[in-house]
């Protein structure tokens, strides 16, 4: 699962590089392609969390709260 996650992260990176013009893509990258790759990555993250019995929504809300507190200071 971890290698799947890294593979999907690489696919997100490839689309972003294409959108930003860092790497001339073989075919133009689109925001729809980015949405698909981000969704693939999110799916793997959910699968990984489920495998380890992690309540991801609760952890995510805590992370958002931590970031908000960091930026409010």
Q: Which residues bind Mg ion (CB under 5 A)?
A: 8, 11, 37, 40
Q: What is the nearest approach in angstroms of Mg ion to the Cβ of residue 32?
A: 13
- Give whichever of 17 and 40 is closer to Mg ion, judged by the CB atom: 40
In whole angstroms, what is the distance from residue 4 CA to residue 61 CA?
25
Q: What is the nearest approach in angstroms of Mg ion to the Cβ of residue 71?
A: 31
- Give whichever of 7 and 55 is closer to Mg ion, judged by the CB atom: 7
Which of 1, 18, 12, 71 has its CA nearest to residue 41? 12
In whole angstroms, what is the distance from residue 55 CA to residue 12 CA?
24
């Amino acid at each position: 699962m971890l290698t799947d996650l890294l593979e999907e992260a690489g696919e997100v990176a490839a689309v972003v590089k294409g959108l930003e013009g860092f790497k001339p893509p073989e075919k133009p990258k689109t925001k729809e392609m980015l949405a698909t790759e981000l969704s693939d990555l999110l799916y793997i993250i959910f699968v990984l969390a489920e495998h380890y019995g992690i309540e991801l929504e609760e952890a995510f809300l805590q992370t958002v709260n931590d970031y908000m507190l960091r930026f409010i200071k």
